[in-house]
Amino acid sequence: MSIKNIVVGIDGSSISNEVLKRAFLIAANKEINITVVHTIETTLMETFFTNKNSDEVKQELMMKIAQDVQKLNQFNANVSIRVTSGKAADQIIEKAHDLKADLIIIGANAKDDLSNKTFGSTAHNIAQKSNLPVLIVKNSCQKAYENVLAFSDLTPVSQKSIEFAKESFENASFKLVHAYKQLSDFTLSFYNAMEAKEKLKDKVKNQIQESFEAFNKKVGIENTQLIEAYYSFNDVLLEASNNIENDLIVLGSHGVKDTTAFLQGSTSSFLMEHTQSDVLVYVP
């Protein structure tokens, strides 16, 4: 599925310009429509703009955003601007569905120097509830993505996430990584199986290797890595994201409705929050 419509959520913070630049870069030389959405939180409207009506505030913000777009839109992408009021996550998701968007791009909350890349509730809610691919921008946008790290649980959702990323960032190099839980000495000892330790571990590894190779035949990535995990998947995958060169991490997720997904819930949220790279979350 090629990208035709992108919804970009901005909040006026320093990361917003990087979000816009990333959207324009993705749309460069392609027939892609970009809709920029800025939401005024209702409480802020009531607190800080009591002397103006909502239409005045929205018009002023529209003009400010239009100036930013004109300055940053070096590829002359087709852009429209929407200023709404309410809850940001809800408004962005609603606009994305109304416009039949193929991708949502938002920023992680950050201080002016982009050094504090905290993962806010708006980004989390959109990633978990949109049922659309969501690109979370954490870093300054200097160039197109070059090294994409795809974490996979070998499920159909993960396959779709990788296929979407490969089509969207066709000039990038991809590395496929799968972490699996290996039998620990504690487990083997508990079941009185220490004598067959190496045989049982090899059996687990061979089974996973077979599944991994079958999965990779579907997605076609040359650079792959299997990681044996003896402790928390959170820590193992975060360590991998720090040690393997990448500027984008791809995660597949079933969102909040399916608690059986490997990259769902705490692991998914943990990686989205703690990785230093930009993150593409694919939610079918």
pLDDT tens string for the chain (284 positions)?
A: 579 999 999 988 889 999 999 999 999 888 999 999 999 876 655 555 555 667 888 888 889 999 999 999 888 889 999 999 888 999 999 999 999 999 999 998 644 344 334 445 788 888 878 889 999 999 999 999 999 999 998 988 889 999 999 999 999 999 999 998 877 767 767 677 777 788 888 888 899 999 999 999 999 999 999 998 887 888 899 999 999 999 999 987 644 343 333 344 567 778 888 899 999 987 76
92 and 8 part of one domain:
yes
| Sheet with 33-41, edge to edge strand ranges | 78-86, 33-41, 5-10, 103-107, 134-137, 278-282, 248-252, 147-151, 173-181, 223-229
Q: How many CB atoms lie within 10 A of CB 272?
A: 23
pLDDT computed for residue 233 by the predictor: 83
Total count of domains within the chain:
2
- Using the 3D structure, point to which of 109, 142, 175 is the last residue of a domain: 142
Model confidence over 132-149: pLDDT tens digits?
999 999 999 999 999 999
Q: How far apart are the first and last CA of the chain?
A: 13
For residue 40, list its beta bridge partners.
Answer: 85
Phi and psi angles of residue 62, each rounded to the nearest 5 degrees, phi first: -60, -45
133 and 148 part of one domain:
no
Cα separation, 170 vs 9, in Å, equals 24
123 and 245 part of one domain:
no
Q: Do residues 102 and 4 make contact, with C-beta atoms less than 8 angstroms apart?
A: yes
Element (H, E) at 248: strand 248-252
Cα separation, 151 vs 153, in Å, equals 7
- Using the 3D structure, point to which of 78, 113, 142 is the last residue of a domain: 142
For residue 175, list its beta bridge partners.
Answer: 149, 223
pLDDT computed for residue 195 by the predictor: 79
249 and 148 part of one domain:
yes
Q: Do residues 126 and 39 make contact, with C-beta atoms less than 8 angstroms apart?
A: no
pTM (two decimals): 0.87
pLDDT computed for residue 270 by the predictor: 83
What is the domain range of residue 51? 1-142
150 and 32 part of one domain:
no
CATH number of domain containing 56: 3.40.50.620
79 and 149 part of one domain:
no
Residue type, position 110, single letter: A
157 and 277 part of one domain:
yes
